[in-house]
């Protein structure tokens, strides 16, 4: 039976549209060859939305996002919007959709593909076989904390400030997910904070510890965020699942990306609560940004976005076989020596975005015969 899944595609800015069009091709291939079809609608976000509507995300698009099964997002931002007021900056659109859909859990897996070991700046034995998950809290912390702003003191001193703030409920829901993910993985959870400096860090640690009794089979450890960044480049394979706050997760996931060779390889899933209809709000996006320097040149790596779509199949649609198939196709393409510029090494074939996307589809074809 053909199941129809509703997808909202928000391609965004820079390389977003180019990499996303490769995903749309994958959905079309699936509709032809697999037992699923997709009802794909498109919307604007980021600078593209600002240019059209004067804001980085419209209420209509938020409403559309609430009605679909999953959102696929490309990237937002670019230098042409540098002068725009903060509330209308492209990034504000991304932050708003995360908040409006209450996508509190951001899953950023960092997997080192054997074929790409050379592309990492780290030594092969440090990263070979790497498979870790960074679970980033996405709707709280200093990204959204109030008060925030700039003001002027009576003596004329100007200052800027943000607030790092977490409620017990916010910590509990992300920590529980971390424990559950560790249970399904290698049984180890590292909670990352700055409890040596921050009150909110002490509180974070207290809540995480209080939940451990419900997951006695998980080995829980705590690490300060600065040490974690260092350990991640020193010996990343010591980690299994890392759970951390919004800001530390932002930093650590960029570090994790480079372990795998390129930001151009890292997918992500942002998940919310399950609603009354049994559907979990979800948005999938590559971890890389809009890469304005190479935008529109058919040079960008579409694999992180294609892998994000595989995560969509896995987490939103429970289509494990299809998710595995796409991941295997990506792996085969890399094994065949195809490389976009960001993962290029000697002796490999440098290909365009479109050729990389087509190669994934032809691998899918081959595997499904
Ligand atoms: C990310 C990005 C965003 C963030 C930016 C674009 C707002 O860096 O998704 O990691 O800081 O969360
Ligand atoms: Mg980031």
The alpha carbon of 246 and the centre of ligand 2 are apart by a number of angstroms equal to 10
Higher pLDDT, 274 or 58: 58
Which residue's CA lies nearest to atom 4 of ligand 1?
A: 250
Active centre residues (catalytic): 143, 194, 226, 250, 254
* Whole-number pLDDT of residue 118: 87
Q: Is the minimum distance from the CB of 91 to ligand 1 under 6 angstroms?
A: yes
Q: Is the pLDDT of residue 2 over 60?
A: no
Q: Mean of the per-residue pLDDT values for the chain?
A: 96
The alpha carbon of 253 and the centre of ligand 2 are apart by a number of angstroms equal to 7
Q: Kindly report the pTM of this predicted structure.
A: 0.95
1-104+269-369 matches 131-259 in fold: yes
Superfamily of domain 131-259: Isopropylmalate Dehydrogenase (3.40.718.10)
The stretch 114-125 carries a mean pLDDT of 91
Whole-number Cα distances in Å, 125 to 117, 232, 259, 333: 9, 14, 11, 23
pLDDT tens-place string over residues 280-322: 999 999 999 999 999 999 999 999 999 999 999 999 999 999 9
Lowest pLDDT segment from 33-37, 76-80, 198-202, 335-339: 33-37
* Whole-number pLDDT of residue 1: 47
Q: CA-CA distance, 341 to 347, in Å (whole number)?
A: 13
pLDDT tens-place string over residues 121-164: 899 999 999 999 999 999 999 999 999 999 999 999 999 999 99
The stretch 51-75 carries a mean pLDDT of 97
Which residue's CA lies nearest to atom 5 of ligand 1?
A: 91
pLDDT band of residue 261 (cuts 50, 70, 90) is: confident
Q: Is the minimum distance from the CB of 73 to ligand 1 under 6 angstroms?
A: no
Which residue's CA lies nearest to atom 9 of ligand 1?
A: 287
Percent of the chain with pLDDT over 90: 91
340 SS3 class:
coil
Return the ligand 1 atom nearest residue 98 CA: 12
The domain limits of the chain are: 1-104+269-369, 131-259
Q: Is the minimum distance from the CB of 250 to ligand 1 under 6 angstroms?
A: yes
Ligand 1 pocket test target in 250, 269, 286 with most atoms within 8 Å of CB: 250
Overall residue count recorded for the chain in this entry: 369
Q: CA-CA distance, 65 to 60, in Å (whole number)?
A: 9
Q: Is the pLDDT of residue 3 over 80?
A: no
Which residue's CA lies nearest to atom 8 of ligand 1?
A: 250
pLDDT tens-place string over residues 165-191: 999 999 999 999 999 999 999 999 999
**CATH, range 1-104+269-369:** 3.40.718.10
The stretch 30-47 carries a mean pLDDT of 95
pLDDT band of residue 39 (cuts 50, 70, 90) is: very high
* Cβ atoms of residues 179 and 215 within 8 Å: yes
143: left (phi over 0), alpha (psi -120 to 50) or beta: alpha
Residues measured by CB to lie within 5 Å of ligand 2, the ion? 250
CB atoms inside a 10 Å sphere around CB 90: 27
């Amino acid at each position: 039976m053909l199941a129809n899944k509703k997808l909202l595609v928000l391609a965004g800015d820079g390389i977003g549209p180019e990499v996303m069009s490769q995903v749309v091709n994958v959905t079309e291939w699936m509709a032809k060859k697999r037992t699923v079809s997709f009802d794909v609608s498109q919307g604007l976000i980021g600078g593209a939305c600002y240019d059209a509507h004067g804001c980085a995300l419209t209420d209509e698009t938020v409403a559309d996002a609430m009605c679909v099964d999953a959102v696929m997002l490309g990237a937002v931002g670019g230098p042409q919007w540098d002068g725009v007021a903060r509330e209308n900056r492209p990034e504000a659109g991304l932050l708003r959709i995360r908040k409006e859909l209450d996508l509190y859990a951001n899953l950023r897996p960092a997997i080192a593909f054997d074929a790409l070991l050379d592309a990492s700046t780290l030594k092969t034995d440090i990263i070979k076989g790497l498979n870790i998950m960074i679970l980033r809290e996405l709707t709280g912390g200093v990204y959204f904390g109030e008060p925030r702003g700039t003001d002027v003191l009576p003596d004329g001193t100007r200052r800027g400030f943000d607030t790092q703030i977490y409620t017990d409920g916010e910590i509990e829901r992300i920590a529980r997910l971390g424990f559950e993910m560790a249970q399904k993985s290698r049984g180890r959870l590292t909670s990352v904070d700055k409890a040596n400096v921050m009150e909110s860090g002490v509180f974070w640690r207290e809540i995480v510890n209080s939940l451990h009794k419900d997951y006695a089979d998980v080995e829980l450890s705590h690490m300060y965020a600065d040490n974690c960044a260092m350990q991640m480049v020193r010996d990343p394979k010591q980690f299994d699942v890392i759970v951390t706050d919004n800001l530390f997760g932002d930093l650590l996931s960029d570090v994790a990306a480079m372990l795998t060779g390129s930001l151009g390889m890292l997918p992500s899933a942002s998940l919310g609560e399950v609603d009354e209809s049994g559907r979990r709000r979800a948005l999938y996006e590559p971890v890389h940004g809009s890469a304005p320097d190479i935008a529109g040149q058919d040079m960008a790596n579409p694999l992180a976005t294609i892998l994000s779509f595989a995560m969509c199949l896995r987490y939103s649609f429970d289509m494990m076989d299809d998710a595995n198939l796409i991941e295997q196709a990506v792996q085969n393409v890399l094994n065949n020596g195809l490389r976009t510029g960001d993962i290029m090494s000697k002796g490999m074939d440098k290909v365009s975005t479109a050729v990389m996307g087509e190669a994934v589809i032809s691998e899918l074809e081959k595997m499904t015969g």
